Structure 1
Amino acid sequence: MTKRGRGERGPASFQKKMTEAELYVEFDEDMLAMGKQKGKLASWLGLQLTTKFSYHIPTNEFDKQDWEKLWSDAKVQWKILDDGPKDVFIRKAKKNNTD
């Protein structure tokens, strides 16, 4: 197989082994992701939204547990140690899911 365009995309792009240090995401005082992993976290979130949430169903019709599960998956995947960024993360996920 040959690579197309800019490289791997979709779920396969997150199968690369990342070091433990690469999995930590830093947040600023507004609880927004910052630093080197900001873009990777945003890409991961977009991928999760397209695979787990149907775009034609209004965001407010998803169960609260669906958003909680997304947050818990993010905490595990990205080694987020506390729930400080949770509200901002879920708000951004809901906004991105409606665009």
Structure 2
Amino acid sequence: MRAGEIDLHALIGGAGPPLLLLGGWPQYRYIWRNAMVPLARQFTVIVPDPRSLDISDKPDGGYDTGSMGRDLFDLMSGLGHERFEMVGYDRGMRTG
């Protein structure tokens, strides 16, 4: 999915208010495998792979929390979610 100038891979499922899940560095969507299905019962769960992880784009720069935060805002905005909840830890929380 397009997020500004890069493509981010993301899993999306469920129904309800949007909930962004973002793990720590260098973890990707797989870390949320046990939480996604239960959360998807009440939320539209969006679980992206941040830049450079797994099959998301791997640009030369932009690995600061501000750039990565913009990636996620662009992703959520592109999906039609101007407001959303977020759960994160480690670098995922600092990025959020």
Given the two structures, how large is their TM-score scaled by the length of structure 1? Answer: 0.34
Which structure's relative contact order is higher, taking Cα pairs within 8 Å and 6+ residues apart? Answer: 2
Higher strand share: 2
Higher helix share: 1
Given the two structures, how large is their TM-score scaled by the length of structure 2? Answer: 0.35
